[in-house]
Structure 1
Amino acid sequence: MTIKERTKKDKARVLEHLKAIPIIEVACKKANIARATYYRWRTEDPDFLRDSEDALEEGIALINDMTESQLIGLIKEKKFQAVQFWLRHNHQRFLLKEKEHSLLKPRKDVALSRDQEKSLKKALAMYA
């Protein structure tokens, strides 16, 4: 078997593992390749880059479906935390609202020193 043929098989193997478990480290170990090799292939081969992104998306979708299925199972078992999680993430009335923190409110009674003003202006200028 030539190096090109072996590389092609290795790439196909790692892509299949990514579809099943979308964790690069795990997929590389199962395919018996180094992570550095995986990332080199992504850099050097635009087709592999696209295929690996597709495989990761497919794997993530699979895990999301399994997770959602298990969550629904827990809801059916009347597990309060599962019910609460679902409502907080899927129902408008139960969405978590950001709490107002007194530390985040602007204070008008505190003045900056000249050094503080200089530092602040300098910092803001860096991002302007």
Structure 2
Amino acid sequence: MKNQNNQITVKDRIKNDQVLLLEQLRKTPIVQIACEKVGVGRATYYRWRKESVEFAKQSDQALLDGSLLVNDMAESQLMSAIKDKNMTGIIFWLKHHHPAYATRVEVTTNNKNQDIELTDEQKELLNKALEMVALAPPEKETHE
């Protein structure tokens, strides 16, 4: 009887810890910090995710909610900085919300040749070009 009561207590404690952790993830969407605040190890958190699809879904939603909260707080601070004539805040806003101030180039294309197979020579040239710009690991030479 005692073992059965103990088992129920452990299950209740785990469920309670999971609820507390999900609440903490909504406030602080960083797994390490949320786990520390609740007193649960990261390994335990990831084990719970593996063992329960439902907990994994709830965890993903809590992380998303927390990230959205942090984004809202950051945007609020950015708006305050802009109102205070903080040039860094103003520049940041313009770079990310006004195309004329953006520092990136957007390239859009319609590739009509998607189904064309490259020859071995073309593949080799492409791989060399990617290696040169460090977008692909160097091919290992085979010694036969």
Give me the TM-score of the superposition, normalised by structure 1: 0.76
Higher relative CO (CA 8 A, sep ≥ 6), structure 1 or 2?
Answer: 1
- Between the two proteins, what is the percent identity of the paired residues? 41
The alignment status of 1:34 with 2:38, answered yes or no, reads: no
Aligned to 2:114: none
After TM superposition, give the deviation of residue 78 of structure 1 in Å.
0.5
The alignment status of 1:45 with 2:52, answered yes or no, reads: yes
Distance 1:44 1:86 in 2: 43
Residue correspondences, number: 105
Distance 1:30 1:9 in 2: 14
List per-residue Cα deviations over 1:67-89 (Å, max 9, x = no partner).
Answer: 00000000000011100000000
Residue ranges of structure 2 left out of the alignment (5+ in a row): 1-7, 106-123, 129-137, 140-144
Residue ranges of structure 1 left out of the alignment (5+ in a row): 99-115, 124-128
SS of 2:88's equivalent in the other structure is: helix
List per-residue Cα deviations over 1:31-82 (Å, max 9, x = no partner).
Answer: 1110000000001100000000000000000000000000000000001110
After TM superposition, give the deviation of residue 2 of structure 1 in Å.
1.3
Runs of 4+ residues over 4 Å off in structure 1? none
The alignment status of 1:2 with 2:9, answered yes or no, reads: yes
Give me the TM-score of the superposition, normalised by structure 2: 0.68
Q: One-letter code of the match for 1:57?
A: L
Distance 2:59 2:102 in 1: 34
Q: One-letter code of the match for 1:89?
A: H
After TM superposition, give the deviation of residue 3 of structure 1 in Å.
1.1
After TM superposition, give the deviation of residue 97 of structure 1 in Å.
3.1
